[in-house]
Amino acid sequence: MNEAIQPLNPIAFTLGPIQVHWYGIIIGSGLALALYLAIREANRRGLPKDTFADLMLWAIPIAIISARIYYVIFEWGYYASHPADIPKIWNGGIAIHGALIGSVITTIVFAKKRGISFWKIVDIAAPSLILGQAIGRWGNFMNQEAHGGEVTRAFLENLHLPNFIINQMYINGAYYHPTFLYESVWDFAGFLLLISLRRVNFRRGELFLTYVIWYSIGRFFVEGLRTDSLMLGSLRMAQTISVALIVVALAILIYRRTKNRTEAHYLDQTN
């Protein structure tokens, strides 16, 4: 039976010589939905019209470029010999931590130029970010990448997964952990958590810091199952950065709370 299993076609359709990949469609759809939700929430929170649309004009291309640069740096052994493959992001190979670095730097500069609180912007963006990540992981699914170690079909069936997922996890004669799915589910749960916490009216910045902590916890454990981790010596970079982000986010939360300063809160309408 295994020999008859055919993977899903990663190419959605062709336009002449151009192949449109599901990976790009799924990533683009996640970005579009994330932007839509962020714009709606920004309007409710009193930000100037088109704030997020203007920000995304810079943040999205910079995030994609920085995500690719990050990935290429840690896979330089391959790309040094195949430089023509560097721009081929439709084949996979973008790192979320690289995207976050680029996005945060872009947002800091943007917020300063517009005279808007950086913390207010990233708090509004946090639920959208993690929802976009939850959707984007299905691009990895279509490319049969970002999977974990080898498992049996019985293991996958015991997870009560639909056959299309189980079959797509059959790669080169073996079944693998659907780590893309584990992270997607974790991220979607984080999205539900964050939109619920918006009603709590935390201090500005705390919703975003909660996102950083939640995502990093899940990524740390999922990364431990993956077989394609970016490495720095014997260290899995995603795990190392996840631990660092958790520590830094907690330190910022504790510092801001213990300072006991009068700070704006999430539901405040001031910029």
Alpha helices in 95-178, H assignment, sequence order: 96-114, 118-143, 153-158, 163-168
As given in the structure block, the two tokens for residue 243 are 């631990």
Q: What is the pLDDT of residue 262?
A: 63
Q: What is the pLDDT of residue 92?
A: 72
Q: Which domain holds residue 137?
A: 2-259
As given in the structure block, the two tokens for residue 167 are 């079959």
Number of domains in the chain: 1
- Angle, vertex CA 107, rays to CA 102 and CA 112, nearest 5: 135
As given in the structure block, the two tokens for residue 262 are 């009068």
Give 5-30 pLDDT, tens digit per residue: 889 999 999 999 999 999 999 999 99
Q: What is the pLDDT of residue 269?
A: 77
Q: What is the pLDDT of residue 84?
A: 93
Asked whether residue 269 is assigned to any structural domain, the reply reads no
DSSP 202: P
Is the CA virtual torsion 130, 132, 138, 142 positive or negative? negative
Give 168-179 pLDDT, tens digit per residue: 999 999 999 999
CA distance 55 to 42: 12
Asked whether residue 267 is assigned to any structural domain, the reply reads no
Q: What is the pLDDT of residue 265?
A: 86
Q: In angstroms, how far is CA 169 from the centroid of its own chain?
A: 21
Asked whether residue 159 is assigned to any structural domain, the reply reads yes
Residues of the chain with pLDDT under 70: 1-3, 260-262
Q: What is the pLDDT of residue 264?
A: 86
As given in the structure block, the two tokens for residue 72 are 């290429």
Asked whether residue 192 is assigned to any structural domain, the reply reads yes
Q: What is the pLDDT of residue 234?
A: 87
Asked whether residue 114 is assigned to any structural domain, the reply reads yes
Asked whether residue 8 is assigned to any structural domain, the reply reads yes
State the pTM of this model. 0.91
Asked whether residue 22 is assigned to any structural domain, the reply reads yes
Asked whether residue 265 is assigned to any structural domain, the reply reads no
